[in-house]
C-alpha cells in the first residue's frame, strides 16, 4: 500500500522502548541476528530446541525438516519431526496443568457480546471441559482421522470442541459462523465431515442470528446434493442458556428477549448440555504421528471455490508457539487479546494454539467493536488490563472515525505491544494506533502472513526491530526463518513478487483432497519456490512494503498499477476514511481506474472533492494513475473477515448486475446503494 519513492514513505524509525528490551526474549538486534543465523545454518538444532519444550511420546527419527519445493523434481512435500508421535491437546493443556502447575491460571477471559456476560476459564477447567467434549464426540462415533465441522460463534465451546478434536485425533474444519448455509454446505461436503457442531443462536451486536436454522439448511442442501456425510449435529444452547437471562446492551422494546425457535430433529440433533454432563472428565489423548492432519481451514471464498488448507500436528505446534512467544514477546503476567474470530486462521493460530502452547492468559471476545458503544475495545482493554493487543487495520480505521473521545474514557496504560494483521496498514492508521492507542510507548508489530503459512512469516520483533510506519517488515529484521525468502522481479511492473525458498514448520501441507491444486497454485509459477501471491517493494534501508495481492494489479496504458498504491493516496486525503480501487475497461487505455471512496463522518461528496482527489493521486503517484472515476461509497462490500470484495466492486463499476454468489459478504445491502451511486461517465 505504501510505495517507496512516493510521499507515503516515512523514513523515520521508531526504536524499541528500553523498558521492553530489558526482559524481552529477543532483547536487541544482535540477539535477533544470532537466532536468525542459527535458524539458517543449523535448522535442525534450532527447531530441536523449540521442540524440547513439548512432550513427544516418541522422538523423531530423521531430520527435523524435510521437503521438496521444486515441482520439476517430484511432488511437493514438507515434513516436520518425522517419526515422532505427540498430541496437540496434551501439549497445550495437560502439559501446562500437570507439568507446569498452571491449572489455576486463567486461560481465557470470555467476554460476551454484552458486557453483562463474561466468565473466566482456568487451564484446569479447560482441560476438564475438553475431555468431556472428547468423550462426547467419541460417543457420537467420531474416530481418529474423521472430519468434524464446527460452526460456532466466539464462545468457550468453540475452543473446547477444537481441542477435543485434536485430543482424539479428529480433524476440525471450522467454518466462520457468519457464513451462509450454502458456504457451510460446500465446506462440509468438500471435507466430508461426519459431525457438525453448532449453537442455537447468537447475538452479533443487536442482531440475533439463528445459527441452528442456518446449520439445518446447510445439512438439507448437503442431502439434496446426495452426498450427505453428517450423521449427527451437536448443538450448544448458548442463546437459550447463556444470554436469554437478560442483556442490558441489546436495545429491544419491550424488554423481552426473543426466544430462538430452535428446530430440533431427535434423530440427528444432540444437546451439548445434556451429553456433556453424562460423560467423564478424563480422556486419554490419542498419540498421533507428527505429520497427521490437525485441521482444515478454507481460505476466503472471494475468488472461486474455497481451498481447504491442511495443517499438520507437530509443525504447526512448533511454529505457532514460537511465533507467539517472540512476536508478542510473551511474558507470564501478560493478558493478551486478539480480536479476530477463531473462524479465521488468525484465531486458530493466535487465539487458540499459539497462546495456549505458551500457557498464556487471553481474552476471548464474542462481540463487535461498536456494540454497545464505539469504545467497546478500549473498555475491554481497561477491564482486563490487556498488555498485548492484536487487531486488523480495518478495525483501526473504523474506530478512528469516532475520534478521541471514546478512547480517552478508558485507561489503556496496561498496553505494552500492539499488533496488526490482514492487510497493509496505511500510515495514517498506523500513527493513530501508535499514538492514540499505544500512547507512543508500544511498538506496533505489523505481521504479514496467510492461512497457508500457518503463522507469521514477515514481522518485526517488538524489542529488536526499529519500525517504519506502514512497512510490514524489514529485509534484515524479518522473522527468523524468513531469510530463506527471495524476491523475484515481475518482469513488467518493477514490483517484487514475494516467494519463499525453504519451508518453515507451520506451512500448509496440501489443499485437502487436491494436491494438484496445491502445487499449481503455490509452486508452479516459480519452480523451487512457494509463491505467496503478494507483491512488495524494497526501500533504500532494506525495508519491505507489501503492495497487496499481485492479482489486484491494474494495467493502465501498459503500466501496471497496484490498486493498493492508489488507495493509499486516496486515504491520505483528510476527507477519506476508506478507498477501494478496481479496473474498468477503457477504449484507449485498455483499463482505467474506478475508485470507491467512503468519506469520514460529516464530509460531503461533491465535484470539488472529486477534483481534489484526482489531483492528489496524480501528484502522489503520477499522471498515469489519475483516476477516471471516483464514486461515493457509504459502505464497501467486505467479506466477514473484513477483506474488500474487489470482484463485486469490479462488477458494479462495469454495471454487471449478475453478481453471483454473495454468501461470503458481511452486508449484502451495500451493493444496491453502490449501484445507485454509480458513475456513468468520467
Ligand atoms: C494479506 C491472514 C499486508 C496478504 C493472516 C495475504 C497482509 C493475505 C498482512 C492473507 C500484512 C495479511 N500486511 N498484507 N500485515 N497480513 N495480509 O489467508 O495479501 O486471511 O496474502 O491470512 O492477507 O489472508 P489470510
State whether the beta carbon of 640 lies less than 6 angstroms from ligand 1.
no
Give the C-alpha distances (Å, rounded to integers) separating 534 from 61, 567, 573, 597, 638. 36, 16, 25, 23, 19
State whether the beta carbon of 430 lies less than 6 angstroms from ligand 1.
no
In contact, 201 and 238? CB cutoff 8 Å: yes
From the list 392, 395, 391, the residue with the least C-alpha distance to 415 is 391
At residue 620, φ and ψ (nearest 5 deg) are -80, -35
Using one digit for the tens of pLDDT, what is the confidence trace for 23-63? 999 999 899 888 888 888 888 999 999 999 999 999 999 99
Ligand 1: which of 429, 546, 639, 644 to mutate, judged by most atoms within 8 Å of the beta carbon? 546
Closest atom of ligand 1 to 459 CA is 15
Ligand 1: which of 327, 450, 507 to mutate, judged by most atoms within 8 Å of the beta carbon? 450
CA dist., res. 498 & res. 490, Å (int): 10
Radius of gyration of the chain (CA): 24
Side-chain half-sphere CA neighbours of 112 within 13 A = 19
Using one digit for the tens of pLDDT, what is the confidence trace for 397-443? 889 989 999 999 999 999 999 999 988 888 889 999 999 999 999 99
pTM for the predicted model, two decimal places: 0.84
CA dist., res. 107 & res. 355, Å (int): 9
CA dist., res. 462 & res. 329, Å (int): 7
State whether the beta carbon of 426 lies less than 6 angstroms from ligand 1.
no
Judge whether residue 579 has pLDDT over 80: yes
From the list 350, 353, 357, the residue with the least C-alpha distance to 390 is 350
State whether the beta carbon of 176 lies less than 6 angstroms from ligand 1.
no
Ligand 1: which of 451, 474, 534, 644 to mutate, judged by most atoms within 8 Å of the beta carbon? 534
Question: How much distance in Å is there from the Cα of 30 to the middle of ligand 1?
Answer: 28
Can you give the pLDDT at residue 10? Answer: 63
State whether the beta carbon of 446 lies less than 6 angstroms from ligand 1.
yes
Instruction: Give the pLDDT band of residue 551 (cuts 50, 70, 90).
Output: low
Judge whether residue 2 has pLDDT over 60: no
State whether the beta carbon of 451 lies less than 6 angstroms from ligand 1.
yes
Q: Which H or E element spans position 67?
A: strand 65-68
CA dist., res. 432 & res. 75, Å (int): 47
Using one digit for the tens of pLDDT, what is the confidence trace for 236-271? 999 988 876 666 666 544 444 555 578 899 999 999
Judge whether residue 444 has pLDDT over 50: yes
In contact, 183 and 174? CB cutoff 8 Å: no
Can you give the pLDDT at residue 521? Answer: 87
State whether the beta carbon of 449 lies less than 6 angstroms from ligand 1.
yes
Question: How much distance in Å is there from the Cα of 642 to the middle of ligand 1?
Answer: 11
Give percent above pLDDT 70 in the chain: 90
Atom 4, ligand 1: which residue's CA is nearest?
423
Closest atom of ligand 1 to 452 CA is 18
CA dist., res. 308 & res. 86, Å (int): 24
SS3 295: strand
State whether the beta carbon of 639 lies less than 6 angstroms from ligand 1.
no
Q: Is residue 557 left, alpha or beta, with left meaning phi > 0 and alpha meaning psi from -120 to 50?
A: left
Question: How much distance in Å is there from the Cα of 424 to the middle of ligand 1?
Answer: 8
Question: How much distance in Å is there from the Cα of 449 to the middle of ligand 1?
Answer: 5
Question: How much distance in Å is there from the Cα of 325 to the middle of ligand 1?
Answer: 20
Of 13-17, 50-54, 515-519, 658-662, the least confident: 658-662
SS3 166: helix
Q: What is the DSSP string of 171-198?
A: EEEE--TTS-HHHHHHHHHHHT-SEEEE
Question: How much distance in Å is there from the Cα of 300 to the middle of ligand 1?
Answer: 11
State whether the beta carbon of 349 lies less than 6 angstroms from ligand 1.
no
Closest atom of ligand 1 to 532 CA is 21
In contact, 421 and 340? CB cutoff 8 Å: yes
Side-chain half-sphere CA neighbours of 646 within 13 A = 20
Tell me the pLDDT of the chain averaged across its residues.
88
Question: How much distance in Å is there from the Cα of 520 to the middle of ligand 1?
Answer: 20
Question: How much distance in Å is there from the Cα of 423 to the middle of ligand 1?
Answer: 5
State whether the beta carbon of 186 lies less than 6 angstroms from ligand 1.
no
CA dist., res. 513 & res. 523, Å (int): 17
Can you give the pLDDT at residue 576? Answer: 94
Question: How much distance in Å is there from the Cα of 607 to the middle of ligand 1?
Answer: 35
> Angle between the 563-571 and 607-621 helix axes, to the nearest 10 degrees?
120
At residue 213, φ and ψ (nearest 5 deg) are -65, -40
More confident residue, 494 or 361: 361
Question: How much distance in Å is there from the Cα of 450 to the middle of ligand 1?
Answer: 5
State whether the beta carbon of 390 lies less than 6 angstroms from ligand 1.
no
- CA of residue 594 relative to chain centroid, distance: 28
Using DSSP bridges, classify how beta strands 553-556 and 559-562 pair: parallel, antiparallel or unpaired: antiparallel
Using DSSP bridges, classify how beta strands 473-474 and 444-447 pair: parallel, antiparallel or unpaired: unpaired
State whether the beta carbon of 68 lies less than 6 angstroms from ligand 1.
no
Question: How much distance in Å is there from the Cα of 142 to the middle of ligand 1?
Answer: 34
Give the C-alpha distances (Å, rounded to integers) separating 629 from 286, 566, 608, 618. 59, 13, 14, 13
Count of CB atoms situated within 10 Å of the CB of 677: 14
Give this complex's ipTM: 1.00
Closest atom of ligand 1 to 458 CA is 15
Tell me whether the omega of the peptide bond preceding residue 372 falls within 30 degrees of 0, making it cis.
yes
Question: How much distance in Å is there from the Cα of 488 to the middle of ligand 1?
Answer: 19
Amino acid at each position: 500500500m505504501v510505495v517507496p519513492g512516493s510521499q507515503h514513505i516515512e523514513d523515520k524509525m521508531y526504536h524499541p522502548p528500553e523498558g521492553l528490551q530489558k526482559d524481552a526474549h529477543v532483547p536487541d538486534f544482535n540477539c535477533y541476528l544470532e537466532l536468525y543465523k542459527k535458524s539458517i545454518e543449523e535448522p535442525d538444532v534450532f527447531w530441536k530446541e523449540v521442540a524440547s519444550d513439548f512432550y513427544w511420546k516418541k522422538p523423531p527419527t530423521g531430520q527435523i525438516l524435510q521437503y521438496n519445493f521444486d515441482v520439476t523434481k517430484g511432488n511437493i512435500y514438507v515434513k516436520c519431526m518425522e517419526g515422532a508421535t505427540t498430541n496437540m491437546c496434551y501439549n497445550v493443556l495437560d502439559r501446562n496443568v500437570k507439568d507446569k502447575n498452571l491449572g489455576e491460571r486463567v486461560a481465557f477471559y470470555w467476554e460476551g457480546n454484552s458486557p453483562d456476560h463474561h466468565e473466566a476459564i482456568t487451564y484446569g477447567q479447560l482441560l476438564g471441559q475438553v475431555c468431556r467434549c472428547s468423550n462426547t464426540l467419541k460417543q457420537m462415533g467420531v474416530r481418529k482421522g474423521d472430519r468434524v465441522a464446527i460452526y460456532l460463534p466466539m464462545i468457550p465451546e468453540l475452543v473446547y470442541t477444537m481441542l477435543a478434536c485434536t485430543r482424539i485425533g479428529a480433524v476440525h474444519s471450522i467454518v466462520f459462523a457468519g457464513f451462509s448455509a450454502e458456504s457451510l454446505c460446500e465446506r462440509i461436503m468438500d471435507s466430508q465431515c461426519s459431525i457438525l457442531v453448532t449453537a442455537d443462536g447468537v447475538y452479533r451486536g443487536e442482531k440475533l442470528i439463528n445459527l441452528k436454522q442456518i446449520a439445518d439448511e446447510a445439512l438439507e442442501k448437503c442431502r439434496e446434493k446426495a452426498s450427505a456425510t453428517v450423521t449427527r449435529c451437536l448443538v450448544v444452547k448458548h442463546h437459550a442458556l447463556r444470554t436469554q437471562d437478560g442483556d442490558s446492551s441489546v436495545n429491544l422494546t419491550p424488554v423481552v428477549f426473543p426466544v430462538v425457535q430452535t428446530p430440533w430433529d431427535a434423530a440427528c440433533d444432540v444437546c451439548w448440555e445434556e451429553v456433556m454432563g453424562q460423560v467423564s472428565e478424563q480422556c486419554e489423548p490419542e498419540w498421533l504421528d507428527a505429520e497427521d492432519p490437525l485441521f482444515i481451514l478454507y481460505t476466503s471464498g472471494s475468488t472461486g471455490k474455497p481451498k481447504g488448507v491442511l495443517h499438520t500436528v507437530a509443525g504447526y505446534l512448533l511454529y505457532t508457539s514460537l511465533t507467539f512467544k517472540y512476536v508478542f514477546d510473551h511474558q507470564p503476567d501478560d493478558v493478551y487479546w486478539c480480536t479476530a474470530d477463531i473462524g479465521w486462521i488468525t484465531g486458530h493460530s493466535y487465539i487458540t494454539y499459539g497462546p495456549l502452547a505458551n500457557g498464556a492468559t487471553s481474552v476471548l471476545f464474542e462481540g463487535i467493536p461498536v456494540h454497545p458503544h464505539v469504545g467497546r475495545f478500549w473498555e475491554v482493554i481497561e477491564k482486563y488490563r490487556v498488555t498485548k493487543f492484536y487487531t486488523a487495520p480495518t478495525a483501526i480505521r473504523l474506530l478512528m472515525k469516532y475520534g478521541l473521545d471514546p478512547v480517552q474514557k478508558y485507561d489503556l496504560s496496561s498496553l505494552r505491544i500492539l499488533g496488526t494483521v490482514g492487510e497493509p496498514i496505511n500510515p495514517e492508521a498506523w500513527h493513530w494506533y501508535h499514538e492514540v492507542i499505544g500512547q507512543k510507548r508500544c511498538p506496533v508489530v505489523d505481521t504479514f502472513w496467510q492461512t497457508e503459512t500457518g503463522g507469521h512469516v514477515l514481522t518485526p520483533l517488538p524489542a529488536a526491530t526499529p519500525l517504519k510506519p506502514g512497512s510490514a517488515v524489514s529485509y534484515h529484521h524479518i522473522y527468523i526463518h524468513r531469510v530463506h525468502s527471495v524476491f523475484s522481479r515481475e518482469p513488467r511492473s518493477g514490483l517484487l513478487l514475494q516467494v519463499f525458498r525453504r519451508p518453515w514448520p507451520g506451512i500448509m501441507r496440501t489443499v485437502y483432497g487436491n494436491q494438484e491444486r496445491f502445487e499449481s497454485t503455490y509452486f508452479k509459477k516459480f519452480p523451487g519456490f512457494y509463491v505467496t501471491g503478494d507483491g512488495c517493494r524494497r526501500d533504500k534501508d532494506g525495508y519491505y512494503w507489501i503492495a497487496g495481492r499481485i492479482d489486484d494489479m491494474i494495467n493502465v496504458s501498459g503500466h501496471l498499477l497496484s490498486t493498493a498504491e492508489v488507495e493509499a493516496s486516496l486515504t491520505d486525503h483528510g476527507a477519506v476514511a476508506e478507498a477501494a480501487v478496481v479496473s474498468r475497461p477503457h477504449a484507449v487505455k485498455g483499463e482505467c481506474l474506478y475508485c470507491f471512496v467512503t468519506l469520514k463522518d460529516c464530509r460531503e461528496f461533491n465535484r470539488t472533492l472529486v477534483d481534489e482527489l484526482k489531483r492528489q493521486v496524480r501528484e502522489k503517484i503520477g499522471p498515469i494513475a489519475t483516476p477516471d472515476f471516483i464514486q461515493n461509497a457509504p459502505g464497501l462490500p467486505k467479506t466477514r473477515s473484513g477483506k474488500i470484495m474487489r470482484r463485486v466492486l469490479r462488477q458494479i463499476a462495469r454495471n454487471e448486475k449478475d453478481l453471483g454468489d454473495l454468501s461470503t459478504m458481511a452486508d449484502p445491502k451495500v451493493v444496491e446503494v453502490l449501484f445507485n451511486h454509480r458513475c456513468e461517465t468520467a
